[in-house]
Amino acid sequence: MRTILAALLAGSCLGTAAATQYRFDVDAKESAITLDLSIGIPIVGSLIGDYDATNNPTGTRTLPGIFGGSGNQPIPYTGDLAFGGTIVGDTTGSFDIVWSPGQPTAAVEGLSLNLLGGVPGELDLTLTFLYSTFRTFAPNSLFPGGVPIPVPLGTATIDSVVMTQTGAGTLVVTPAKGGGYAVLGGVPVEVITTITQGGQVFEVGPTPAVVPISGTMVPGPNTLAIEFSLESSQTITQPVGQPFPDQTLDLPTVLPPGGLATVIFSGTIESIEATTGFSLVVDAFGAAVTPLGDLNGDGSVDGADLSILLGAWGTGGVPADLNGDGIVNGADLSILLGNWGVNE
């Protein structure tokens, strides 16, 4: 497999001769990501029994303290929502590479990747909460305070992880043994993760990052085959201040055990603390956007370009080496003549 996200850096110096722009669409069947995600969400709020004098008179009532009281009263709590695990997905997206065969640097522009390829992943969600002592009635139970209790809340859905290039960079290109070119570099990006839980959408980011990339690329007539890999890990904290959807739960009783108290959790998410790590392999095939053989950069292939090619005849490592085989010869002349009269 060929590799190249290092080529994802735009704005490099490609020499005085015109470079070719290649347009890539990522092949989801050959591209994949392993995403390791750990997210902690501090939350403050209250829980209250599901008792309602009219609609649910046999429901659970909650009362603060040991001795109870009357009515159905909210119990303050602090907690932490947590979910994490590993998601494997197929990456989709697009980018451009600007490069002349034989040149030591390349530029990448317009990188945009959906790391999950539009296929959401699900992770288990748990609320661990801490509260002061309270009682419940129907069932009758005492919940001593100061003891953290984990409560499963089902799943949260990771809808998308979108990576978008934010700045220029350079890919270093060197000939590789066995053909093609090795590439090495890095790309500045921002990452936005979208999460859905309980019908509510949360967005983490945009988070800036610079991802290191390495790989290889193989040029052909009017084409460039690319495969790139990258790995990255980062931790972010983002203020939120967003209400958390009410959750109705059957809370296991403590003293005595064995019962289920039905309570409604409500609260506000204060922040999102996320640690992400991913390993990504992308396979892509690009076709030339600018005419291959336009060596002077005027947007067309004509006699001026033919003169440049003939002047470089027999040499290597120059833009006139259109097929990247290391020498300017009849094969490159055939490519140029095949594109004769083509305009950008």
The predicted-structure confidence for 3-58, as pLDDT tens digits, reads as follows: 333 333 333 333 334 567 788 888 777 777 888 888 888 989 999 999 999 999 99
- What pLDDT does 289 receive? 76
Spatial separation of the C-alpha atoms in residues 180 and 78, rounded to whole Å: 58
Pick from 121, 115, 119, 118: which is nearest to 91 by CA? 115
Higher-confidence residue of 35 and 333: namely 333
pLDDT in tens, 256-304: 989 999 999 898 988 888 887 777 787 787 877 777 788 877 778 889 8
User: In terms of C-beta density within 10 A (0-12 exposed, 13-18 middle, 19 or more buried), how is residue 284 classed?
Assistant: buried
Neighbours of 307 (CB within 10 A): 12
The pLDDT score that the predictor gives to residue 14 is 33
C-alpha to C-alpha distance for 40 and 123, rounded to whole angstroms: 13
- Average pLDDT taken over every residue of the chain: 82
List, in sequence order, every beta strand (DSSP E) within 198-259: 200-220, 223-252
Q: What is the mean pLDDT of residues 310-327?
A: 81
Does the pLDDT value for residue 91 go beyond 50? yes
Going by C-beta distance under 8 Å and a sequence separation of 6 or more, which residues neighbour residue 157? 120, 121, 122, 195, 196, 197
What are the backbone angles phi and psi of residue 303, rounded to the nearest 5°?
-60, -35
Nearest CA to 278 out of 229, 316, 318, 323 is that of 229
Q: What is the pLDDT of residue 18?
A: 55
304: tokens are 């001026």
HSE (side-chain half, CA atoms, 13 Å) at 293: 23
Alpha-carbon distance of 139 to 205, in angstroms, equals 43
Domain chopping of the chain, boundaries: 5-289, 296-344
Confidence check: pLDDT of 140 > 90:
yes
Residue indicated by tokens 């500045």: 188
Arithmetic mean of pLDDT, 166-188? 85
pLDDT at 317: 66
Which pLDDT band holds residue 147 (cuts at 50, 70, 90)? confident
Position 218 scores a pLDDT of 84
Closest of 254, 341, 250 to residue 293, by C-alpha: 341
What is the mean predicted confidence (pLDDT) over 57-76?
Answer: 90
Q: Which DSSP letter does residue 56 get? A: B
Predicted pLDDT of residue 186? 82
In single-letter form, the type of residue at position 98 comes to V
Query: Do 7 and 171 touch, CB atoms closer than 8 A?
Result: yes
pLDDT tens digit sequence for 276-285: 777 778 778 7
Q: Does domain 296-344 have CATH number 3.40.50.10140?
A: no
Other Cβ atoms closer than 10 A to 276: 21
Distance between CA atoms of 258 and 313, rounded to whole angstroms?
88
Element at 269 (helix H, strand E): strand 260-288
